[in-house]
Amino acid sequence: MSELILFNTLSRKKEPLSLLRPPHVGLYVCGPTVYGDAHLGHARPAITFDLLFRYLTHLGYKVRYVRNITDVGHLENDADEGEDKIAKKARLEELEPMEVVQQFTDNYHRNMRQLNVKSPSIEPRASGHIMEQQEMVRKIIKAGYAYQSNGSVYFDVAMYNEKYDYGRLSGRKLEDLLTQTRELDGQSEKRNPYDFALWKKAAPEHIMHWPSEWSEGFPGWHIECSAMSSRYLGEEFDIHGGGLDLLFPHHECEIAQSTIANGKPAVKHWMHNNMITINGQKMGKSLGNFITLDELFSGGHKELKQAYSPMTIRFFMLQAHYRSTLDFSNEALQAAEKGFDRMRNAMETMAKLSPAASSSLNYIDFEKSCYEAMNDDLNTPVLVARLFEGVKWINQMKEGKESLNENDLNKFKSLVQMFIFDILGLRFEEKPGQDDQLTPQLMDMILELRQEAKQKKDFSTSDKIRDTLTSLGIKIKDTKEGAEWEIGE
């Protein structure tokens, strides 16, 4: 069996996965900013690192997967001096900010369950780790790489760059950054425009803030991931993942912070998933092509010709390599839907196949090629192509053109199922209608039992049935012909 090779953004090449404490794997992935409904942009990193989590677990590694929640108190970048979005929604709707965070977090979790994304091992919230973040800021100040300005604390990038290489991960040069960084409001507190905030003094309208020796304020965005990853995975850990949009400045800043605070850059292996475009364009609120996952699943967006099931979306994403850009269009999604249907039908056919006396197909080669695809930097497009060869085999076996003996057929069936369900994390949803039929059948049975109780003058039972149904929102109306029911609002 070939060994697992992963592309490391830091070295810019594919490398065998080498672990600090095998068989343990420490995996940290930048999680969602719960500042709104989960959208398409959330789905790709979630699915990419879910695939990695599933595959490493399958290979026998003990994975501790930490994916954070960026919640209250964090501006999206240093330049954003406006009111925190959570704070604004909380103020307008008279909610506790944590209520807003909870709503968006619940929504994100619901969408992740729909996409069959497994829960991480630990899901820490930034707001629950203020002390760890402050402690890290203190270490950086003590080391002399941060300065205070008007109650805020900034990381001194120029000073860091004298000894270390700022831009090592993203391939940027400090000189270029100086010309690229625009002067924006609030940057006058900084020594240089590329310095980033470790702690920000809270403006009066900023609802979420914490006391500190520097000011009543809140931590910078970058420090949260450094603090939470070292809290749960140690000062050095194996894999850090996230979307390519986080490469700079977020991940570059994480390396700088950890290098100064802990004396090491923290991460051995950096992995980044590429971005999603919609009909060739970047997704953005201003472009009117910003699609939430709920809109995608219901078809409720003007860009969508129909609803797409969560599994169609998952399958569509896995058909592309995680390091390639992926363009969303109705045509591409419809093609994915068809392909996924073919796979579903083949699984049904496969269940009914019976073994032959001998094998005309080479099972061993098939198995090897599936693992080789995954071991080559999680090459899911190749794996999916292999699985479609398997689909071809299934159809040929059904027609009696090819065969597998009992041993090979059993291994083939479990291998195909294992790759489709356990590793790719696909599942075949119940065909529509099954659920719709079950409720009326159950209701008929319950109402019959109630009718029988009434006939036996067992009114306590018949009342109990009616009251329980009422509490479930089901209204019962007695008529001459029997009882009718209706699900209320």
Scanning 50-58, 147-155, 225-233, 263-271 for contacts with Zn ion by CB under 5 A, the matching segment is 225-233
Under rule CB under 5 A, which residues in 21-40 are in contact with Zn ion? Answer: 30
Nearer to Zn ion, 8 or 226 (CB): 226
In angstroms, what is the minimal distance from the CB of 43 to Zn ion? 17
Nearer to Zn ion, 45 or 97 (CB): 45
Specify whether the CB–CB gap between 208 and 86 falls below 8 A: yes
Nearer to Zn ion, 30 or 404 (CB): 30
Scanning 184-192, 217-225, 407-415, 439-447 for contacts with Zn ion by CB under 5 A, the matching segment is 217-225
Binding-site residue total for Zn ion (CB under 5 A)?
Answer: 2
Q: Is 27 exposed, middle or buried (0-12, 13-18, 19+ CB in 10 A)?
A: buried
Nearest to 189 by CA among 244, 198, 247, 180: 198
In angstroms, what is the minimal distance from the CB of 226 to Zn ion? 8
Taking CB under 5 A as the criterion, the residue among 130, 225, 346, 446 binding Zn ion is 225
Nearest to 17 by CA among 59, 66, 65: 59
Q: Looking up tokens 């420490």, which residue turns up?
A: 26
Contacts of 13 (CB under 8 A, 6+ apart): 7
- Output b/e per residue, 161-170; b: 16+ Cβ within 10 A: beeeebbebb
Under rule CB under 5 A, which residues in 133-172 are in contact with Zn ion? Answer: none
Neighbours of 228 (CB within 10 A): 24
Q: Looking up tokens 């078809």, which residue turns up?
A: 299
CB < 8 Å & 24+ apart, contacts of 202-209: 203/81, 203/83, 205/83, 205/87, 206/73, 206/83, 206/84, 206/87, 207/72, 207/84, 207/86, 207/87, 207/90, 207/91, 207/97, 208/72, 208/73, 208/84, 208/86, 208/87, 208/97, 208/127, 209/73
In angstroms, what is the minimal distance from the CB of 250 to Zn ion? 5
Nearer to Zn ion, 253 or 465 (CB): 253
Q: Does position 333 bind Zn ion by CB under 5 A?
A: no
In angstroms, what is the minimal distance from the CB of 266 to Zn ion? 12
Scanning 41-49, 166-174, 220-228, 476-484 for contacts with Zn ion by CB under 5 A, the matching segment is 220-228
Nearer to Zn ion, 30 or 293 (CB): 30
In angstroms, what is the minimal distance from the CB of 30 to Zn ion? 3
- Supply 267's token pair: 């991460």
In angstroms, what is the minimal distance from the CB of 172 to Zn ion? 18
Strand order in the sheet with 276-278: 281-282, 276-278, 326-328
Nearer to Zn ion, 70 or 375 (CB): 70
- Supply 256's token pair: 């700088």
In angstroms, what is the minimal distance from the CB of 254 to Zn ion? 7
Nearer to Zn ion, 217 or 249 (CB): 249
Nearer to Zn ion, 30 or 56 (CB): 30
Scanning 130-138, 148-156, 219-227, 464-472 for contacts with Zn ion by CB under 5 A, the matching segment is 219-227
**Where is 27: in which H helix or E strand?**
strand 24-29
In angstroms, what is the minimal distance from the CB of 124 to Zn ion? 11
Can you give the binding site for Zn ion, defined by CB under 5 A? Answer: 30, 225
